[in-house]
């Protein structure tokens, strides 16, 4: 009989009322955890050494994903545009590529760099259209569409050896497993099927465990590569949007949450909705890959 999942709990480290907090990213160069509030176009930097969060930039459009850039600074997903940005310099982002989205109700959503330094980013319909989006890959300035028929492209990360990709198209309620050793992604199975909430952002730890944020589920789940539910992080906010390891030793799991769409009563019941949380899970994460372009 499989062991019961380890119960864990998250604590607030920065109390905020983000509409849709997203894309937590540890930057060892700066000693900061970057994260965004998508609809407000806000880029935040949280310093765990001081416990302070600073609003570093505001952009005129949705800021859905952030990645490190090997040449310095960050790569941003802004609406339909992928752009370089130097937070220490400010100014305007440097457009690198524009994604041709199928309609005006589409925008880019979650994204992450792979071990080869390529940035993967998917889209979604803000009107709720099903199967209208796609998953794209930016290699330098070359953009390739890797998957089509996507509804809400969310969590994506790689196994420690880089051979597998874990991916969540949220409305499917599944975390899919893909083989990435060939020229194209090839689906090989399903890691987990979610019943409480829907899978949103995810991250892989150094032992190969997959941590999945459950939007609407008040939790983050850790799955072993064989699909066993190994740990459950309870979060005092329903809409958990993403997770990432951070801190100097990558021993802290940071979680972003959302408050948009909650009723007045729900907001009173969830005063920390939209805040940034942290958990000590007992395992370490992996360093974030940087965009090589």
* pLDDT digits 0-9 by tens, 74-84: 999 999 999 99
Which residue is it, tokens 């505001």? 58
* Span 203-225, pLDDT tens digits: 999 999 999 999 999 999 999 99
Predicted confidence at residue 96, as pLDDT, reads: 96
CATH class of 6-291: mainly beta
Predicted confidence at residue 183, as pLDDT, reads: 85
Q: What angle do CA 287, 141, 143 make, to 5 degrees?
A: 90
**pLDDT above 80 for 181:** yes
Instruction: For residue 193, give both structure tokens.
Output: 């099927």
Predicted confidence at residue 102, as pLDDT, reads: 87
Task: Look over the chain and give the mean of its residue pLDDT values, rounded to a whole number.
Answer: 97
* Mean pLDDT in residue range 144-148: 96
**pLDDT above 70 for 133:** yes
| Total-model pTM | 0.97
Give 195's Cβ-side CA count (13 Å radius): 1
**pLDDT above 90 for 151:** yes
Dist. CA 276–CA 47, nearest whole Å: 12
1 band by pLDDT with thresholds 50, 70 and 90: low
Share of the chain above pLDDT 90, in %: 95
Predicted confidence at residue 61, as pLDDT, reads: 84
* Span 51-68, pLDDT tens digits: 999 999 999 989 999 999
Share of the chain above pLDDT 70, in %: 100
CA quadruple 19, 22, 28, 30: dihedral sign: negative
């Amino acid at each position: 009989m499989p062991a019961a999942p380890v119960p864990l709990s998250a604590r607030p480290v920065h109390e905020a009322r983000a509409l849709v907090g997203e894309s937590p990213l540890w930057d060892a160069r700066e000693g900061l955890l970057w994260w965004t509030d998508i609809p407000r176009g806000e880029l935040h930097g949280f310093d765990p050494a001081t416990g302070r969060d600073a609003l570093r930039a505001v952009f005129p459009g949705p800021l859905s994903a952030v990645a490190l850039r090997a040449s310095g600074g960050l790569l941003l997903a802004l609406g339909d545009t992928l752009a370089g940005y130097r937070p220490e310099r400010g100014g305007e982002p440097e457009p690198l590529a524009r994604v041709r989205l199928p309609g005006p109700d589409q925008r880019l959503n979650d994204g992450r760099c792979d071990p080869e330094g390529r940035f993967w980013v998917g889209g979604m319909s803000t009107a709720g259209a099903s199967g209208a989006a796609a998953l794209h890959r930016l290699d330098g300035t070359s953009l390739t569409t890797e998957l089509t028929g996507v509804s809400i492209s969310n969590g994506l990360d790689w196994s420690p050896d880089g051979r597998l990709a874990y991916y969540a198209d949220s409305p499917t309620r599944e975390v899919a497993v893909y083989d990435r050793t060939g020229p194209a992604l090839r689906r090989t199975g399903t890691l987990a099927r979610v019943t409480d909430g829907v899978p949103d952002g995810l991250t892989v730890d150094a032992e190969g465990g997959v941590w999945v944020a459950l939007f609407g589920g008040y939790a983050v789940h850790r799955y072993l590569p064989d699909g066993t539910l190994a740990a459950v992080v309870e979060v005092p906010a329903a809409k958990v949007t993403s997770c990432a390891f951070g801190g100097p030793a990558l021993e802290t799991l940071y979680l972003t949450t959302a408050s948009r769409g909650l009723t007045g009563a729900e907001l009173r019941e969830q005063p920390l909705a939209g805040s940034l949380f942290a958990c000590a899970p007992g395992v370490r994460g992996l360093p974030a890959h940087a965009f090589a372009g």
